[in-house]
Amino acid sequence: MIKRKSLLLLLVPFLLLCVNANTATQNYISRGVDIDRSNIPKNIMFASFPGGRSHVKPMLDIATILVERGYNVILVASGENDTSIEYPAIKQISLGPKIGLRDIGIEVNNEAITFDKMSKLLELGAKSYERVYEIYKSVAEEYNTDLFFCDLLLNDACIDIAHALKKPVVGFTSGLRIMDPKPYKSDPIIMNQINDVRKQLNIEPGNIALGRGVKSSLVLIDTFFGFELPQTLPPYVQDIGPILSEEYPPLSPELSYFINGHERVLYVAFGTRFFTTTDNNSKLLQSFIEAINKKIVDGVVWALVETSKDNFHPTLKLSDGTQVQTSPILNNEHPHIHITKFAPQFTVLNHTNTKLFVSHGGAGSSHETLYTGTPVLVLPHAGDQIGNAQKLITAGVASSLSLNNLDINDILNKMDSLLKDEKVKKNSERMKVLAKINSKRKFRAADLIEYMLHSSTFVEDFNNDFLKEWFPADTRMGIIRANNLDIFAILLIIILSIIGFIVVKLIKLFRFLLMNPSSDDRKSKRE
């Protein structure tokens, strides 16, 4: 009996603790992080005039999140449905063939790509404006579009149709140079001017977060500070990069076999649009052969997307005088060089054996090389690639080459340095962590788009009230009030008045002294 009482006495504190713990648990409730989507408009149009994987894929990664949340997404872009396998839930309507260098008259030859040639994109955009505008309008009416998500490159028609239909518009770009260019950033970019075409079609231009007085817009930038040079941003401009997919295609058996069989692989790719000259292709191939011979790398994977096997010189003369035929190499008869038309780039870069990347420096390629911690030798062609190359160098993970002055020894020296430099390795690891942390922000991008849709249902005066909580006060003021120029003007007038008063008094004093000599002077004159 005593033992039973003792046992009960021991159990009482334990039972009381359990009851208290249970009571405390029952007093807590979930804060409810999700939002009520029942009354939010659901139809979103994603639009890209240039099209192509590099422009469309980041947009579709955001679209996938929105589809999972119950939104209806349709993609209107140039090119065929290249991403249908990866994004089967998203329907695409084509604006026509994908825009490439050949569409603006650039062919593979010994003539380099220049900024003047790239400016022909302006003409192409202007010529296509009316056709693209009408397609956007037709799709928007058919699918009852509630919000437009516009790739900003040469895509004025998307912004204008959103303005005409009084619908929210979200802009998307890969760099801050469009939104807020800074003199200390070397980011050459082509700005589209099609006001003459608008006047002919009687279309009122829409605006999207480009300076003072702009309303009804949000801009998402596929970049992150650390890669991008820091600057202040207004609330309606959000950096949400790097945008990367959750899954990537695996290596083909042939590519997997090759990379697994080499410990120091160099991967070469210039995107899905860009190519270089026959001379440059041949110099690059020769430098890769010599890099293998010098044991800088032991394997090369080159994705020749826009370049054919005819765009190489038939014979290469190596530094030691040896002559090499290019045809067998391009037909994959070289044991340490693998040529392919397509490679799953992220998967290749993420492989343990891939040690170096030769790239054109596009935004997507830059993000992937940072995320995987792969040092990069950049050969920028045009557009944002020149600025991206400088940002990668500033981050300490890259060197660059000149498209107009390729030198084989320079290529070899920079490859060797990137692979051996301990600072490059440390910087690559540092940037890898930063890229991984920031890669989660595509979910924030989807959240912001949801807020745009949700907020639009409560606005009575769309032009004046929508998103006013995001636009700083100075954007709603004139230049004088926004910069306190009126106050500075008043202060300047006061200061000048005081200075003027003092000057006048000093002049009078000097005159008085000149006209009234001292007593000593008067005495001397009398004597």
266 and 173 housed in the same domain: no
Segment 318-341 mean pLDDT: 93
Q: Which of 115, 116, 107, 80 is nearest to 95 (CA)?
A: 80
Output the domain CATH number for residue 58: 3.40.50.2000
Looking up tokens 């999140």, which residue turns up?
65
- Please provide the average confidence, as pLDDT, over all residues in the chain: 82
* Eight-state DSSP code of residue 37: -
Structure tokens at 460: 């009575």
Least confident window among 18-27, 215-224, 390-399: 18-27
φ and ψ at residue 316, rounded to 5 degrees: -115, 140
Helix 363-372, helix 385-394: angle, nearest 10: 20
- What pLDDT is attached to residue 220? 93
Per residue in 12-25, pLDDT (tens digit) is 555 555 545 554 55
Classify residue 329: in a domain, yes or no: yes
461 and 494 housed in the same domain: no
Other Cβ atoms less than 10 A from the Cβ of 328: the count is 11
Q: Is the pLDDT of residue 284 over 60?
A: yes
- What pLDDT is attached to residue 181? 55
Least confident window among 4-8, 61-65, 215-219, 281-285: 4-8
Classify residue 190: in a domain, yes or no: yes
Q: Is the pLDDT of residue 278 over 90?
A: no
How far is C-alpha 489 from the geometric centre of its chain's CA atoms? 40
359 and 236 housed in the same domain: no
Segment 91-105 mean pLDDT: 73
Overall pTM > 0.85: no
Q: Which of 36, 65, 52, 39 is nearest to 449 (CA)?
A: 65
Per residue in 155-192, pLDDT (tens digit) is 889 988 998 898 989 999 987 765 555 554 555 444 44
452 and 434 housed in the same domain: no
More confident residue, 323 or 183: 323
For 443, residues 6+ apart whose C-beta sits below 8 A from its C-beta are: 65
Q: Is the pLDDT of residue 62 over 80?
A: yes
> Between vectors from CA 302 to CA 355 and to CA 189, what angle results, nearest 5°?
90
Give buried/exposed letters for 248-278 (b at 16+ CB in 10 A, else e).
Answer: beebeeebeebbeebebbbbbbbbbbbbbbe
| Cα–Cα dist 276/410, whole Å | 18
Q: Are strands 265-269 and 217-221 parallel, antiparallel or unpaired?
A: unpaired
Least confident window among 137-141, 159-163, 288-292, 343-347: 159-163
Q: Are strands 299-303 and 217-221 parallel, antiparallel or unpaired?
A: unpaired
91 and 219 housed in the same domain: yes
φ and ψ at residue 152, rounded to 5 degrees: -80, -15
Classify residue 20: in a domain, yes or no: no
| Cα–Cα dist 149/219, whole Å | 9
158 and 270 housed in the same domain: no
Asked if 301 contacts 255 with a C-beta cutoff of 8 angstroms, the reply is: yes
**Considering just the CA atoms, what is the radius of gyration of the chain in Å?**
32
Other Cβ atoms less than 10 A from the Cβ of 136: the count is 28
431 and 298 housed in the same domain: yes
| Cα–Cα dist 108/186, whole Å | 27
294: containing domain: 253-438
Classify residue 409: in a domain, yes or no: yes
Structure tokens at 185: 């950033």
208 and 263 housed in the same domain: no
| Cα–Cα dist 442/501, whole Å | 62
292 and 429 housed in the same domain: yes
More confident residue, 175 or 453: 453
197 and 299 housed in the same domain: no
| Cα–Cα dist 74/134, whole Å | 16
Classify residue 91: in a domain, yes or no: yes
Classify residue 7: in a domain, yes or no: no
- What pLDDT is attached to residue 178? 57
514 and 450 housed in the same domain: no
Classify residue 206: in a domain, yes or no: yes
331 and 397 housed in the same domain: yes
Classify residue 149: in a domain, yes or no: yes
Least confident window among 67-71, 99-103, 292-296: 99-103
**Number of structural domains the chain divides into:** 3
